[in-house]
Amino acid sequence: MPELLKQRVETCYQQAEAFFKRPFPRPQVSFKLRGQKAGVAHLHENLLRFNLQLYRENQDDFLRQTVAHEVAHLVAHQLFGERIQAHGEEWQLIMRGVYELPPNRCHNYEVQRRVATRYIYRCPCPQSDFPFTAQRHKLVRQGRRYLCRRCREILVYSGETRVE
């Protein structure tokens, strides 16, 4: 599946080269992006990272819009330099002029939120629930202490968990 995405990156570069009549160095393409972002352009590393899960779930729009969106960031950076805004007029020019696509800043793909367990810590203050992540809970078990900002007492694990 990622081969189609890599082909689309190459097509976007060929379109930009034909439009601007100059070559552009090809980026490294990574599929190690998770969470809510569909893609990220790392300007100084000439690197594109894509969210494989969102690609699988929204393949047509992702190939058309998201890939062009991220390539346009790298092309704009290489053409206009450091001082441009991420979604400014230079980037918009590339989206409209080169790719003939709307310069949408964000995608509207449905994103599944991760389920997270929170460990509830308390202090003597009223309504003092402090939901800790699993990582922070582990640090407490290893001896780290956390204090309430109001009463300065040590937060103590209540034995309760909550799923968010």
- Does residue 95 carry a pLDDT above 80? yes
**Of all residues in the chain, what percent carry a pLDDT higher than 70?**
99
- Cα 62 from Cα 154, distance rounded (Å): 48
113 pLDDT band, cuts 50/70/90, is confident
Indicate the pTM of the whole model. 0.72
CA atoms within 13 A on the CB side of 10: 6
- Cα 77 from Cα 90, distance rounded (Å): 9
Helices (H), ranges, the chain:
2-20, 52-57, 59-61, 67-80, 89-93, 134-141
> Can you tell me whether residue 140 is helix, strand or coil?
helix
**In degrees rounded to 5, what are phi and psi of residue 120?**
-90, 120
- Cα 157 from Cα 130, distance rounded (Å): 9
Q: Is 70 tagged catalytic?
A: yes
- Mean pLDDT, the chain, rounded, equals 95
Question: Cα-atom radius of gyration of the chain, to the nearest Å?
Answer: 23
Q: Which amino acid is at 116?
A: A
Closest CA to 43 of 96, 10, 101, 86: 86
The confidence score (pLDDT) of residue 2 equals: 87
Binding site as annotated, residues for Zn(2+): 69, 73
- Does residue 108 carry a pLDDT above 90? no
The confidence score (pLDDT) of residue 123 equals: 94
- 62 versus 1: which is more confidently predicted? 62
Angle at 19 between CA 15 and CA 22, to 5 degrees: 95
The confidence score (pLDDT) of residue 1 equals: 60
Catalytic residue among 70, 89, 90, 110, which? 70
Binding site as annotated, residues: 69, 73
Following DSSP, what letter does each residue of 100-114 receive, concatenated? -----SS-----PPP
User: Left if phi > 0, otherwise alpha if psi is -120 to 50, otherwise beta: which for 136?
Assistant: alpha
